[in-house]
Structure 1
């Protein structure tokens, strides 16, 4: 029996899966390859990323790759500013990738298209007669609206307008596909509030708990924040952490030190390293040794959509997490039992001090968090939810993983 042919399109090339926007699509496509012959189509931004992308060959049947330069992306974003089309779509549009997808669809017709992220849907909507799944992941319109609340004019107005444009685009896209999915129950509520989707569902982000395994030793005075530093919500969190939360911790624990781990920190973040108790690492080959060395992960995010991988990864490594309510809402963990939650500097500092002062409480929370990750955020469990959605809405289209036709 011929294996089904599946077109998988995403906004960032999903290999290597070493940043948030790549981890979910990589695990999805790797799973779908067990049920179909998957053609991956996506973008790269540099020759280095193009070289790294070749490693995906072992996880799919074939891949289509187009490079988009910063000048072209900026031009396409600016061109959309005075239009009703979201400017952010221009950042992820390549005429070359669109051409490659059309050509491949003519040569070997696909049985199903699976798109990750609304920015990539523009490549598959013109393919008429092809059933489509759109995994929004996070509802990006909500994120842009959150940005508007924390930025000054005129940036706040720009973010607000982009959020409005994206909300209309999300409604249009949800109506245009057979199935629309996202990462959490909260994101699902936002998706269903559009009122246009034919069918909806959600399946969570997961974590590789073997790769992110625990270590025995840690520094009882070290606090870690891990995340890409070219991302505004992470920058905002670090400014709050260093400016208000860390001083409160040091009043009772003067030896407390902070690790800020993540690629491309701007100058304003790098300057914090002038404090002898703050280390800003920049790009590191592997974040795990840094996170494992810490007594806790502190993630004071004020803007957080979907699932924060930094929380799942820390929990998998049995490093307890202190975070905000909005960030904790994207993971299936109970505050006080698996994770500590507060929304102001005093509360976040108090939660961190509780763990720094009480190794027994730290060990209890760490063990509970890792157990919760294993039971509720393993990729195998997430992919079972995805399989159930696909089998319900496209019965008989895909064989079971490892089953007939595989």
Structure 2
């Protein structure tokens, strides 16, 4: 098959979140199909020309063609300010505004004239605007989260009145956009049955398929290490959900955990730590903020407990899958492990209030046997259900199904 893959981000390096899923999905489908990739450069990820060139070299080794574009709100601080200002009055969601690009559109149209594509894959709701340029090509839209749910949750924890208003407005706009745009696609790919249920509640007529997130079980595996009395959280602090999770731990739980385990450490791993987090680390030597690291595995291996105190978000957490595959004892909120088929008490511990989270974390810090028991079950789950090779086969089946013309024609007859 010939696949036109429209991405909201260059899927490289494969370090966490959408980057990890994008890289592994492209790698798997490119093993069997001809893939043409269009992607936006995020300058906070690909920080210089050397990294851009490296990403292109790697992705061109997988894909037939690779095309990069600037994401205009991230071109400068002035562009960001302008985008946010326009976002206060723009009638659609910010994600649709941010992904508006004449160059992206022209490249897409050129490729459509040069190739007879079997499927166009739109890898986020923010790219739905490009569907009109390929009305006769079978279409797949990925929902990494139900974005409106993420925004709604975030609006409740924003610290300023303006922030709460702005994010709540985005949540409403996104919900309307998801409800109106999703039925126009032949298949909507969901990360979990939870997200599928939420989308169907908004747009009952949509066709869905679940293609869960996965993990590279050969790369992420248990490593030999001297385990410290330490907890660890990984995730870029340029994502609100990650920053909020770290601050929730530091503000509401850290002092009590330290009181129970005086020599405990807290490893905070991820790019762009905020000034507030850095200031706390300066005052508390037990909080170790590394910023971005090339390889998180040694840090995870030496930490006794992997914590996921996430309060905002949706979809599935690749960080949790990585930790499962590494055989770690995990304490998470329900939101943190949403969409993953974990069992509380068997392969993970789930606690939704700070007191319970503290209690469970302290118990695991003090019990090696319990940590190892959870870790073995966690690794088994990752291997049996979440390898990328198997997930690539699931998506391949979706492509085969959506490529059937009778399915696409039925959508066209509905006037979508």
Q: Report the TM-score when normalising by structure 2.
A: 0.90
Task: Point out the more displaced range, 38-47 or 289-298.
Answer: 38-47
Task: Point out the more displaced range, 319-328 or 85-94.
Answer: 85-94
**How far apart in 2 are the matches of 1:263 and 1:66?**
23
Which residue is 1:52 aligned to?
A: 54
Which residue is 1:272 aligned to?
A: 280
Post-superposition CA distance 1:177-209 (Å, at most 9, x none): 111111011111111112254411111100001
- Which of 162, 181, 184 lines up with 2:170 in the alignment? 162
How far is 1:83 from its partner? 3.1
Q: 1:72 to 1:97 in 2, by over 3 A?
A: farther
Q: 1:45 to 1:325 in 2, by over 3 A?
A: closer
Q: 1:143 to 1:362 in 2, by over 3 A?
A: same
**How far apart in 2 are the matches of 1:396 and 1:129?**
10
How far is 1:340 from its partner? 0.5
**Unmatched runs of 5 consecutive residues or more in structure 1:** 398-406
| 2:16 corresponds to 1:16 | no
Correspondence 1:239-258 to 2 at 5 A: 239-258=247-266
Which residue is 1:331 aligned to?
A: 340
Correspondence 1:88-103 to 2 at 5 A: 88-103=95-110
Task: Give the 3-state SS of the residue equivalent to 2:141 in structure 1.
Answer: strand
**Are 2:347 and 2:374, in contact at CA under 8 Å, matched by a contact in 1?**
yes
Which residue is 2:132 aligned to?
A: 125
Q: Which runs of 4+ in 1 moved over 6 A?
A: none
**How far apart in 1 are the matches of 2:102 and 2:398?**
32
**Are 1:299 and 1:324, in contact at CA under 8 Å, matched by a contact in 2?**
yes
Which residue is 2:414 aligned to?
A: none
- Which of 103, 117, 134 lines up with 2:141 in the alignment? 134
Task: Give the 3-state SS of the residue equivalent to 1:297 in structure 2.
Answer: strand
- Which of 193, 199, 207 lines up with 2:215 in the alignment? 207
Post-superposition CA distance 1:24-82 (Å, at most 9, x none): 12222222223321100011134445323212111111111112324446534533532
Which residue is 1:26 aligned to?
A: 23
**How far apart in 1 are the matches of 2:81 and 2:27?**
32
**How far apart in 1 are the matches of 2:226 and 2:321?**
18
Post-superposition CA distance 1:152-174 (Å, at most 9, x none): 31111111111111111112221
**How far apart in 1 are the matches of 2:313 and 2:69?**
30
| 2:115 corresponds to 1:108 | yes
**Are 2:119 and 2:399, in contact at CA under 8 Å, matched by a contact in 1?**
no
**Are 1:73 and 1:91, in contact at CA under 8 Å, matched by a contact in 2?**
no
Which residue is 1:322 aligned to?
A: 331
Q: Report the TM-score when normalising by structure 1.
A: 0.92
**How far apart in 1 are the matches of 2:301 and 2:196?**
33
Which residue is 1:86 aligned to?
A: 93
**Unmatched runs of 5 consecutive residues or more in structure 2:** 407-416
Correspondence 1:32-47 to 2 at 5 A: 32-46=29-43, 47=48
Task: Point out the more displaced range, 321-330 or 70-79.
Answer: 70-79
